[in-house]
Each structure stands twice: as structure tokens, then as C-alpha cells.
Chain A
Amino acid sequence: MHSPRFLLATSGSICLAVALALAPASARADETCQSPYLPKITGQEEFVYVWTLGVEGLGDGEDKLVTIDARPGSKTYGKVVHTASVGGRFEAHHGGFNDDRSQLWLGGLDTSEIFVFDVRTDPGRPRLVKTIRDFTRASGGVVGPHGIYALPGRLLISGLSNDRDHGGRTALVEYSNEGKHIATHWNPTSDKPFGAARGEVADGYGYDVRVLPRKNVMLSSSFTGWSNYMMDFGKMLQDPEAMKRFGQTVVLWNLHTRQPREVFQVPGAPLEIRWALGPTHDYAFTAAALTSKLWLVHVDRDEKWHATAVADIGDPEQIPLPVDISISADDRLLWVTTFMDGKARAFDISDPFHPRQTYEKEIGRQLNMVSQSWDGARVYFTSSLLANWDKKGDDNEQFLKAYAWNGKELDQAFAVDFNAEKLGRPHLMRFGSASLYR
């Protein structure tokens, strides 16, 4: 670490400290999985925001942002302290903060609305301040705003689909913090690779996007289009044509120019991307959902980038379907959640080329997102994948569960039953704290 020194002004004089070189590199980082441009909650998170899909006939039936009190000792610890419904069902899914963390942007995958919440004025009571309803028109045809990622003064939104065929060809879309469309960058495809190396395997799908400013690169991953993610999961598994329409690539981009540099073949829908957090750890993990494989994207001494399969997750023949991953702040542990068997798995990634599973626990009958506190001591899980992909009948448990992690065991701290509380299907989690704004 750097140790900057500076002198304070003597009385009556102007003191100017000019750092001509570098200040400390900010931590690049669920609290460990955020944009590097964000202020981080490195202590106790106070609130967990849960972007929740409405269910027809359950409560008000609307998508909503649910706020859960995570302050130990609070009278309402582990309880829902606020809900903000957004007026309909839009396939609530993912989202993210802007770069000063005053706003939480949340996307609807079906109808492409984006809901902007003020989480700064009263972090315990997020307030809907803006709804962007013309995302598809403004972006020139992008459908399904998915990952929303803070860049300086703007948000980078990875789409999932398009308005011409509801397939997987899509784009990265930039919006200003004020909610204005800035630019649309279509993902490379084999017929339009935009100069990317190995462009002949580019497939144009989108999912996550994450940056590593130190190397001026960003990575995007690839899922599937509207027709598939909106479809009944069982119907899709039995439709061979639909199963052919999943992304098989990870794309390395030039962060500054937003131009694709290179396409990597990562078969079976690579979803979440997590860059390591160490200041010189120039590698990222991603998990391919359908093939249940952990992949490492890394750079060698000649500055050549590679994507390497480094571990299986469960038994790929059973399609456990890894859907989320969360990296610890010290780059030693990776949580992997699998939807079909409802399990959380801990991988030791101290040697990123040889991840080793060290722990697993069944959290519920279905499981999707995982978020951990900065110190890794608290781990949160939610259950819902997509409205039409979740399990049916008794298997359709809907919950947020909070655990303490001591390095060996997950111990449940509290749970919120989203069915019993008539809230809906809990999906993305983000942490809030008033300490960010003091």
C-alpha cells in the first residue's frame, strides 16, 4: 500500500498538497462484487435491499424493492422494514448503484423499465424518484436491462435481448446519472465482430459486465434472449431450438473505447463475472450455468488474455445450474450458488487456477443470489431465478436467508419467508448504510 504524506496549512497561509503521482488504489469491490467506482460498506451493512418480483394474486402482485433491517441489536433486526412497489410486474431482476451510491437503479427484464430509487436521503426507506420507460426506444432496440454498473457519472447497462426478434443479440447501453441515454454499444457477432480477435465465434449475447480499470479492460458474459428467459423453464429444456440459443462466450473489451478486443469461447452461458480484488490480481472468475463449470479469465506476462476452465461445480450431468458467485475481499474464497439443488458451495480460490470446493450446504429447495459482507462474516441468499423458471408447487420456496460464516460453517441468523409475507420472488440484493453519506 502507498502511504501518502501531506502537510497541513500553517495559520494564515494557503496549503496545497499536490499529489503528483498516485494515491492509494481504491479497493475494487454484495459488497465485494460492486463497481470499483463505488464507495464501499466495509463495516456492518445496515439494510439489505431486495429487488423482488411480484406474483399474481400474492399481496399487491407488484414488483417491489424490499428493505430488510440487518443491524444486529435493532428491534427490527431481520425484519422487513420497508417496501416500495413499482406499479406492476416487469420481471424485476438485477440492478446496481450509481457511482456516488445515492441511487439504486433496478431493471425489469420483461418490459425494459428501469426504476431509480433514492437510497441516500433515508437509507432505511428507499424512494422511487424516476422511472425510465423508453429504454428500448432510446437505446435503439435493446431489450432487458440487466446488469447496471456504475462508471464515473454514468451507468453501464448490459442488455439481454433486442426488439427485432427477442433473441439474444444485444448491447451495452450507457446512461448518465441523470437518466439520459448516452450511447449503445452492440455486442460483437460473427457477422459483425467490430474488430475483435476471434470474432468468428462472437455470438452477441449479454449478461454481466465488469471492469478492471488498472488494465483498461472490461469483461462481458452471455446468457440468452427474452424468448428464453421469459419462457417456462420446463418447456425450454424440452425445446431443442431454444436450447441452442444461449451465449457461449466471454468478451474482453477496451474499457476506455468500449470496443471489443477479444472473444473467448466459454460454453454453456457464462453469467456472473467477478474480478479479484487484490490491487495486482488481474483475473476474474465466471461460472457457466448450463455446463456447471468455473472459468478463470487471466492475463499472462505477455499481456495476452486467456479463459481457462478451472473446476466443475457439482455434477454437471445433473445440471445443478450455478447462477451466482461472490468473491471474498481477500480473493481466497468464492461462494457459488446452484439453483436446481439449492446448494451454496464454498471454493478455496487461493490458487485461482485450482479452485477446490471446501464446503457445501443446502440452503433451500431452490437458490439463486448470494451476497457477502466486506469481511465475509455475513452471507445472504435469495431464492428466485426468474418468474417462469422458479420451481412449481411446494418446491417454490421464496426466501431471503442470512447466515454467519466463521470460515467453516454457515449458521443461520435470520430468514424472511417472502411467500408468507406476500412479497413475491426475492432476487437481487444490495446493501445500504447511512454511514456512506456522512
Chain B
Amino acid sequence: MTIVAIVRNASIALFALGIAGGGTVMAAVAGDHGSAPRTDRPELSLGRSEQFDFDPPEPGSYSLPIIKDAGDGDVLTADGRSRRLRDVLAGRISLVSFIYTSCADPAACPLASGVLYRIKAVSKQDPLLAENLRLVTFSFDPERDTPTVMASYGKGLAPDVDGAEWIFLTTAGPAALQPILADYGQRVDRKRDPDDPLGPLAHLVRVFLVDRGGRLRNIYSFDQLDPRLVLTDVRTLLLEEAAVAAGK
């Protein structure tokens, strides 16, 4: 039941939309930032799958310990501007996904981008997510993934501005990239066979949850990249912020 979408020349062609439940994602009840805990969670309509055969926990019923401060460094946005990564990540809860656009391993970068795509779709149903969440797709292949390439990649995945913000980043080159990868603990190796049909780079799938204060709060790999679970974590951080605000 693997569903694959192809983007060609920056136009997106979805062979099938893999949003389970077969139906409309429930309209979210609008709420002010920092309001009381929400009970509606449109992502739950995505339902279970063979890989994620469980119901996610209640947001706020658990804690996400601080792993460390998220790394910083010089990055290039899709419009070619140079910025500091921490500045880019400021002000919202961010999901940072490290990829390279020529990855052809369906269990790797396409999977991660697919999950972000689905999260973006859910966020259109929920103003709380739309206002507070940022998706970040960050290339670790600066030689090929120039700002122009990232812009095209981004247009394919996120042609509209509805829902959560989605930004696409790359770097000026390995010197700028390496410290950021090291900080995040994202290992990338060149494969021995540069013509490997799945792509020339070897890497683990990693998506990072960064809170509004720039601290790393969770790390997802293949086995956790369930949009329901990721959004449960995002909502947990939103509740935590609300609790802190209420305490002040």
C-alpha cells in the first residue's frame, strides 16, 4: 500500500493521497494561542496503520525532556538570503527534517517530506497548528541543492501558504553545513557507489522537534514518523507553553 507521488518540474502529481480514514479531516475548532487544552485533534482521523498500530497518547499527559539547545549556523533560504538557523527557527515550534532532494529511497527523504506534507495538510484544519508550527526541510547536499532547487522542491510540496509555515533551507557549502549536522547529530556519508539507484548519500532518517525557545525536544526516525505522534508532541509543547504562561 505504498503510495508514491512524483513532482516533476515543480508541479506536484499525487498518484494517490495517502491520508487514511478515507475522508475529510475534521474541521478544527479555532482557539486562541495559549487557551485551555484542546480536545479536538484532526490528525487522529488519519487513523492507525500497520506500522503505527496504536492510538497516540493524550497531549500533555507526558513530558518531553530537553535534549539540548538546537544547533546554529549560517543557512540559505530558498530565496537565496543568508540567515542564522536559530533566527529562522525563532518564534514557532519547528519540525526540522534533514534531506537531500535527489534521494530516491522511499524509506528515507521522500518519507520524511511526505510526513511533513501530511502534517501541513492537517494544520490547515487547525488554526492552533497553523499559527504556531513551522516545518523546515533542510538539505544536507548543498552542492546540488541550491536555493533555486530548494525553492522548486518547496513549490512542489507546499505551493500554498495555508496552514503551518513550511520553509526550505540549504547552505553555502560543506563548511557551513558540517557544524550544523554535527550539532544535530545527523550523520551523512557518501556511498561507495555514487550511482546507487537510491541516491549517492547514506544517512538515517531524522526529524527534529525544536521548541519555541530553540531547544531540541524530540528526535524521530523511521519508526516514530507517525504524523499523529509528531503532532501529539507539538500539542504537548503548546500545552507546556500555556502552563508556563499561566504560571507567570
Contact = CB atoms under 8 A, between A and B. Distances in A.
Interface of A: 2-10, 13-26, 36-37, 99-100, 102, 152-154, 174, 176-178, 180, 182-183, 213-217, 254, 256-259, 279-280, 437-438
12 contacts: A14-B101, A14-B156, A16-B113, A20-B118, A21-B1, A102-B187, A153-B185, A153-B221, A213-B223, A216-B52, A217-B54, A438-B191
A259 B62 contact: yes
Contacts of B5: 16-20
A14 B7 contact: yes
Contacts of A256: 56-57, 62, 224, 229, 232
B44 interface: no
Contacts of B8: 10, 13-15
Contact of B110 (A2, A16, A215, A280): A16
| Most chain B Cβ neighbours within 10 Å, of A3, A21, A26 | A21
Contact of B51 (A25, A99, A254): A25
Contacts of A214: 50-54
Interface string B203-246: 01010000000000001111110000100100000000000000
A13 B101 CA distance: 11
Given A213-B224, A215-B54, A256-B56, A23 B67 contact: no
Interface of B: 1-10, 14, 16-20, 49-54, 56-57, 61-63, 65-68, 101-102, 104, 106-108, 110-111, 113-114, 117-118, 149, 152-153, 156-157, 185, 187, 189, 191-192, 197, 202, 204, 206, 219-224, 229, 232
A213 B192 CA distance: 31
B4 A18 contact: yes
Contacts of A99: 204, 221
A213 B102 CA distance: 28
Contact of A100 (B6, B204, B220, B229): B204
Contact of A17 (B1, B6, B16, B53): B6
Nearest to A180: B68
B4 A5 contact: yes
Contacts of A180: 67-68
Contacts of B229: 216, 256
A20 B18 CA distance: 5
Nearest to A16: B7
Given A19-B3, A21-B18, A21-B20, 14 more contacts: A2-B2, A6-B4, A6-B104, A17-B106, A18-B14, A20-B17, A23-B2, A23-B106, A26-B223, A99-B204, A152-B223, A180-B68, A256-B56, A256-B229
B113 A22 contact: no
A25 B50 contact: yes
B145 to A, nearest CB: 10
A19 B107 contact: yes
Q: Which label, helix, strand, loop or mixed, suits the secondary structure of the B interface?
A: loop
Cβ-closest 4 pairs across A and B: A23-B107, A153-B219, A20-B18, A257-B62
Nearest to B62: A257
A5 B3 CA distance: 8
B65 A22 contact: no
B117 A20 contact: yes
Contact of A152 (B57, B104, B157, B219): B219
| Most chain A Cβ neighbours within 10 Å, of B118, B156, B220, B223 | B223
Contact of B65 (A17, A183, A280): A183
Contacts of B68: 176, 178, 180
A154 B219 CA distance: 8
A100 B205 CA distance: 10
B7 A177 contact: no
B14 A258 contact: no
A5 B65 contact: no
B147 to A, nearest CB: 13
B110 A18 contact: yes
B223 A4 contact: no
Contact of A14 (B20, B152, B220, B221): B152
Contact of A15 (B7, B57, B108, B118): B7
Contacts of A438: 191-192, 202
A334 B200 CA distance: 39
B206 A16 contact: no
A216 B197 CA distance: 33
